[in-house]
Amino acid sequence: MTFVLAQERHQLRRNLDLPHDEYDILADRLVDIVHGVLDAQERDYEDAALMFWPRPEFDRLILRWPVLAEEYGPTWDDYRTTVQRYLEQWSESGSPRVTLLAGAVDELAHYADDNRGDPTDPAVREGYAQHLQDHPRETAWPPGRNQACWCGSQLKYKKCCLPRGRI
């Protein structure tokens, strides 16, 4: 919930042409932490990519590292609703199509072990997201209304996550 409120505040302040303040910086940082967004300064902006956890992996992630529920949300529905809203905000800002990179719990664990890090550390997850960009399993966003949803539910996008961004 904090993430959504921070993003809404940030968007409102941007629309009012107010100067960037400490809470706007926090909103930017939350985006990086919550979604594992790859740093735009380290890649070509046309190659916008976002790491996300498909449902089976999200469930395994929260079981293995329960503390991550504080960042990603306690349930799959909370998580994918937040991701959908973020994707829509990103799209509304005039950003190009986004490529979704599916994360895998075992890969994150191996990546963390190889780099002597903790998977709950945001920097380790960001490094893993960069690793995924080099070894992608990509899903383009947005899908067509009648195409399979990006989240992997096998439902049509219009019946699954599209309405979640409008709640």
Digit-by-digit pLDDT tens for the chain (167 residues) are 455 666 677 777 878 888 878 777 777 766 665 555 444 433 444 456 778 899 999 999 999 999 999 888 999 999 988 888 888 877 776 666 677 888 999 999 999 999 999 999 988 988 888 888 776 566 667 788 888 888 888 888 888 888 876 65
Nearest by Cα to 52 from 8, 14, 108 = 108
Q: In total, how many domains does the chain have?
A: 1
The CB density around residue 117, as the number of other CB atoms within 10 Å, is 16
Give pLDDT, residue 75.
94
Cis (ω within 30 of 0) for the bond into 142? yes
Give pLDDT, residue 97.
66
Nearest by Cα to 75 from 1, 163, 137, 159 = 1
Distance CA 97, CA 33 (A): 21
Give pLDDT, residue 42.
39
Give pLDDT, residue 90.
75
Q: What is the pTM of this model?
A: 0.60
Q: For the chain, give the number of residues.
A: 167
Distance CA 1, CA 70 (A): 10
What are the phi and psi torsion angles at 75 (to 5°)? -130, 160
Domain span at residue 91 reads: 2-166
Give pLDDT, residue 106.
94
The CB density around residue 45, as the number of other CB atoms within 10 Å, is 9
Q: How far is CA 86 from the centre of its chain?
A: 7
